[in-house]
Structure 1
Amino acid sequence: MKDRLKILFLCTGNSCRSQMAEGWVNHLKHNVIEARSAGIETHGLNPLAVISMAEAGVDISHHRSKLARDFVGEPWDFVVTVCGHAHETCPYFPGGVPIVHVGFDDPPALAKDEPTEEAAMTHYRRVRDEIRAFVESLPEILKNP
């Protein structure tokens, strides 16, 4: 019997979108997918991402920001980039690992000019829900692009 599918989610700073994706996979698909997340850089875990995921019943508060280069050489089935910058600068993964790009808006960038935290949270919640919908389509969507 094959082990769980291994997916690495990448974004620029591993602070928000890739963390949400990892959290959703571990919450919804842990029996069929092993997920990790990383960034081209590390920006630390975004507190509003943590809050938005907690609102949906997913605790990512124990996650930490990690670098993609720390995962090169591990046996991944797929690397999924969740932002354009990560897709453009994705490190080389030996062994012909398929790199799939599924872009999501950047909540921190969208929220930066919002007057209140509640207004900012509307962006985090929308992207959180979009990432959840993508994760719910896994692994079939990756196997049948």
Structure 2
Amino acid sequence: MRLLVLCTHNSARSQMAEAWLRRWARGLGVDLEVHSAGTEKTFVKEEARQAMAEVGLDLSGHFSKTLWEVPDPWGFDLVLTVCDQAKEACPAYPARTAKRHVSFPDPTGKPLEEWRKVRDALGRMARYLVEALKEGRVPSDEELRKAAGL
């Protein structure tokens, strides 16, 4: 299965979600190819790198990219938007693509503690999503929000 995480700038939330999803997929033995992208390209924020490093996830190789920079941008089975602006700008995908949306707060400009809260919520949501995919199902937006604690 191929999964794309979309956010506005691909600088924080989508990058953190990508790292969590890869960790849980590997840990739970789920064959999941994960990519992230933004509706605009910027850079990965240092606070995202720092918050993720605290839980052993290294974002040093990550970089901000748009949808057009990911392999086979129209070949995703699941597209997950993690901010409202990205949901609104999300392109139309083929009918076989499932779309899910969970809006996480933007921690930009806030203390590191706020970054940690978003990081942990993304981690809870990612684990729940990968567990559901392992069972052969795609959970609803509401299930994902509840798993995240939002």
Fold shared by both chains (TM-score > 0.5): yes
Between 72-81 and 84-93, report the one with greater CA deviation.
Answer: 72-81
Q: TM-score, normalised to structure 2's length?
A: 0.81
Note the C-alpha offset of 1:73: 4.2
Q: Which residue is equivalent to 1:12?
A: 8
Q: TM-score, normalised to structure 1's length?
A: 0.83
Aligned equivalents of 2:45 and 2:98: distance in 1?
A: 28
Between 31-40 and 67-76, report the one with greater CA deviation.
Answer: 67-76
C-alpha change, 1:144 and 1:26, in structure 2 (3 Å) is closer
Deviation string 1:40-92 (CA, Å, 9 cap, x unpaired) is: 00111111100000001100111010102334644211000000000011122
C-alpha change, 1:55 and 1:40, in structure 2 (3 Å) is same
Structure 1 residue 134 corresponds to structure 2 residue 125: yes
C-alpha change, 1:43 and 1:28, in structure 2 (3 Å) is same
Deviation string 1:9-65 (CA, Å, 9 cap, x unpaired) is: 000000000000001111221341221100000111111100000001100111010
C-alpha change, 1:9 and 1:73, in structure 2 (3 Å) is closer
Which protein is bigger by CA-based radius of gyration? Answer: 1
Note the C-alpha offset of 1:136: 0.7
Q: How many pairs does the alignment contain?
A: 132
Q: Which residue is equivalent to 1:116?
A: none
> Is the CA contact 1:73–1:94 (under 8 Å) kept in the aligned structure 2?
no
Structure 1 residue 54 corresponds to structure 2 residue 53: yes
Q: Which residue is equivalent to 2:105?
A: 105
Deviation string 1:104-143 (CA, Å, 9 cap, x unpaired) is: 000105x1xxxxxxxx101100000000000010231762
RMSD of aligned residue pairs (Cα, Å): 1.7
Aligned equivalents of 1:27 and 1:136: distance in 2?
A: 9
Could you list the runs of 4 or more consecutive aligned residues of structure 1 that deviate by over 6 angstroms after TM superposition?
Answer: none
Gap regions ≥5 residues in structure 2? 141-150
Gap regions ≥5 residues in structure 1? 112-119
